[in-house]
Chain A
C-alpha cells in the first residue's frame, strides 16, 4: 500500500534553532500533503495544506513565518520550524493523498516528536 515516510522521528534541540521535518511519499506522487500538530492527549490539529508548486494554505492562527512549508516536488514536502522555542515542542505528523486511489484515504507518516530545550 501507499507509504509516507517522515524524518526525523525525534528531534531535541536548543531554543532558537530552526528544525526541518521532511515528509515523503514513497510510491506515489502527492500534489497535496498536510501538516498536523498534536498536543498530548489531544486530537490532530491541521496546521497547513501543502500544495506542490504553489504556496501552502495555512489554518487560522498558524504563523506562516514560524512554520515554513515547502513542497518543491511531487514526493516531498518540508516543514521548517524557525527559531524554535519550548512552546513549539509537540508531535508533528504529515499526511498525503494518493490521486490514484481517489485521494482517499490520507496516508500518514509516523510523526516527529520535537522537543525544544
Chain B
C-alpha cells in the first residue's frame, strides 16, 4: 500500500523568509500525482501545487515550488517570501490512477511576524 510521510509535525518561519516542508512517499508505480494541500483554520482544503510524476520539471506556483526527487521518492514544498496568510496545516498527498488520495499526517506552519 502507498504511504505518505511528513516528518515535521510543526514548522515555523519568520515572515518574508523561506521555508521547506518535507514529504516522502512509497509506491511501486511509475506514473502518479503528488499534491500539496493547505488547510487554514477555516478547514477548507486548498490545493497549493501538484506534480505529475512523469514530468521531470519541478512544479511552481508563484511563491510555492516543489523539489521532486522521483528516485528518492521525495516531494518537498518550498514557500518563498512567507506571508502571515501562509499559516496553516499543510498536507502532502499521493494519487495513482482512480485510487484513493493518500494523505500525510500534516505539518503545521506558523509564520512569525
Which residue numbers of A lie inside 8 Å of B, CB to CB? 32, 34, 38, 42-44, 46, 49, 91, 93, 95, 97, 103-106, 108, 110-111, 113
Contacts and interface: CB of A to CB of B under 8 A. Distances in A.
Given A49-B100, A110-B44, A105 B50 contact: yes
- Of the four ranges (under 10, 10 to 19, 20 to 34, 35 or more), the interface on chain B belongs to 10 to 19
Given A111-B43, A111-B44, A34 B100 contact: yes
A38 B91 CA distance: 13
Q: Which 10 A-B residue pairings sit nearest by Cβ, starting from the closest? A: A108-B45, A43-B103, A43-B105, A111-B43, A104-B33, A43-B106, A110-B44, A44-B103, A46-B100, A105-B47
What is the predominant secondary structure among interface residues of chain B facing chain A? loop
A30 to B, nearest CB: 12
B25 interface: no
Given A95-B101, A111-B45, A113-B43, 12 more contacts: A49-B100, A103-B98, A104-B33, A104-B50, A105-B35, A105-B47, A105-B50, A106-B95, A108-B37, A108-B44, A110-B44, A111-B43
B43 A44 contact: no
7 contacts: A34-B101, A43-B104, A44-B91, A91-B43, A105-B95, A110-B42, A110-B44
Given A43-B91, A44-B91, A111-B44, A106 B105 contact: no
For B45, B47, B103, the residue with the greatest tally of chain A CB atoms inside 10 Å of its CB is B45
Nearest to A32: B98
Contacts of A43: 91, 103-106
A105 B33 contact: yes
Contacts of B37: 108
Interface in B77-113: 91, 95, 98, 100-101, 103-106
